């Protein structure tokens, strides 16, 4: 049995078409009329694949590559083998993504897993409203008065709660849950995500902890992508909002009342505590933890593994635990290394002194 490839074999793409698509410059063309039919890494690429390089760590792989074409910045042009067409571009990763999307358009959005249409064993409430072209997988549940727009795919075992609104051309992955939520167009919710459950709200007490009712919603704007097993709690006294174009990785926790701006990037294992607000184009590295009621300005960046306990101004670069401005963090780390090295050197000198004294005693 041949190995499955999962995506249809792409139509060939000429170098001229790649230039028109990406704006790259064809710096070398060892085979006029050459086409590419796939994408691959520098090490694995063959004569009909396109690869890219943007990091000097892969220079050796570039020199040995068998790729038919390579997208690269000008500083790597002299390392491109003579058999590989060099496509010069300032943004090779972006250009590569554009080419890959043209070759494999079906990879950009999850497809129905169990055929198109509405599965006979799905439960769709009679009061729900689904436009034409909505696909509902086996054992999915669509609650009363829910509305789902044309072209949306609801995966097997997914749950859409009562009164939920989901726009057009969305994908709700297998086993995902969407309740108490309004979802825009072209939103992707990956498998196992949980959207709209009540937030973690309790008033501590000596005898018991009193649960705070969570009566808000989750608002997910257009073109958002939400990773597998991510949880987004509904608001308690205001809506939890995920802004247009924001991309959220797997296993992220977003608490109640959080507002995330447009086109933010949240890597895996990020945790955002309640009532925190992120501006537009904020980037959070993996395992960032954010305390409640903070404000993070537009285009701020927080390094992976950081613990944030203070507001950050627009454009701020912070890192560390607790997080601090990046320059202070790096200076503190450098000072700590100097102290550690000095202590190690003194310990080594002391050990040598002990050896010398022991030899003198003998």
| Average pLDDT for 54-69 | 96
Taking only the tens place, the pLDDT of each residue in 241-276 is 999 999 999 999 999 999 999 999 999 999 999 999
Segment 119-177, tens digit of pLDDT:
999 999 999 999 999 999 999 999 999 999 999 999 999 999 999 999 999 999 999 99
Has residue 3 got a pLDDT over 80? no
| Lookup: tokens for 17 | 């078409």
pLDDT in the model for residue 333 = 72
190 is catalytic: no
Residue (of 90, 82, 69) closest to 26 by Cα position: 69
Letter string b/e over residues 165-189, b meaning 16 or more CB atoms within 10 A of that residue's CB: bbbbbbbbbbbbbbbbbbbbbbbbb
63-71 LR contacts (CB < 8 Å, sep 24+): 67/40, 67/42, 68/31, 68/34, 68/36, 69/15, 69/18, 69/34, 69/36, 70/42, 71/22, 71/24, 71/95, 71/96, 71/99
Mean pLDDT (the chain) is 93
Catalytic residue among 190, 256, 263, 310: 256
CATH number of 13-108: 3.40.1390.10
Strands (E), 221-291: 225-226, 231-232, 240-242, 247-248, 253-254, 259-260, 265-266, 271-272, 277-278, 283-284, 289-290
Tokens of 324: 């601090």
pLDDT (mean) for 189-205? 96
Number of Cβ atoms within 10 Å of the Cβ of 89: 22
Claim: this prediction has a pTM higher than 0.75:
yes
Q: Which range is least confidently modeled, 69-73, 114-118, 279-283? A: 114-118
What is the per-residue pLDDT for 335?
A: 74
């Amino acid at each position: 049995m041949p190995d499955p490839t999962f995506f249809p074999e792409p139509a060939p793409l000429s170098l001229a078409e790649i230039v028109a698509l990406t704006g790259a410059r064809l710096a070398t063309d060892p085979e006029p009329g050459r086409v590419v039919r796939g994408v691959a890494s520098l090490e694995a690429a063959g004569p009909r694949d396109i690869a890219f390089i943007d990091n000097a760590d892969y220079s050796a792989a570039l020199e040995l590559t068998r790729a038919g074409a390579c997208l690269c910045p000008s500083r790597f042009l002299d390392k491109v083998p003579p058999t590989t067409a060099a496509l010069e571009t300032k943004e090779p990763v972006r250009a590569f993504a554009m080419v890959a999307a043209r070759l494999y358009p079906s990879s950009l959005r999850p497809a129905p897993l169990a055929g198109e249409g509405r599965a006979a064993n799905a439960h769709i409430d009679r009061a729900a409203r689904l436009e034409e072209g909505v696909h509902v997988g086996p054992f999915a549940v669509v609650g009363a008065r829910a509305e789902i727009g044309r072209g949306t795919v609801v995966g097997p075992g997914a749950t859409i709660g009562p009164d939920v609104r989901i726009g057009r051309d969305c994908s709700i992955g297998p086993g995902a849950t969407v309740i108490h939520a309004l979802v825009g167009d072209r939103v992707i919710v990956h498998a196992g995500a949980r959207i709209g459950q009540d937030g973690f709200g309790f008033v501590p007490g000596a005898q018991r902890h009193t649960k705070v009712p969570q009566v808000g919603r989750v608002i997910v704007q257009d073109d958002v992508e939400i990773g597998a097993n991510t949880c987004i709690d509904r608001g308690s006294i205001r809506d939890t909002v995920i802004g247009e174009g924001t991309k959220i990785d797997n296993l992220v926790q977003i608490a109640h009342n959080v507002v995330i701006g447009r086109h933010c990037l949240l890597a895996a294992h990020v945790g955002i505590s309640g009532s925190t607000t992120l501006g537009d184009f904020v980037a959070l590295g993996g395992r960032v933890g954010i305390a409640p009621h903070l404000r993070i300005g537009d285009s701020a960046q927080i390094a992976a593994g950081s613990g944030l306990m203070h507001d950050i101004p627009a454009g701020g670069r912070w890192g560390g635990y607790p997080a601090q401005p990046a320059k202070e963090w790096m200076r503190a780390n450098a000072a700590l290394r100097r102290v550690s090295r000095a202590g190690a050197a003194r310990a080594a000198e002391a050990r040598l002194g002990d050896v010398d004294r022991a030899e003198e005693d003998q």
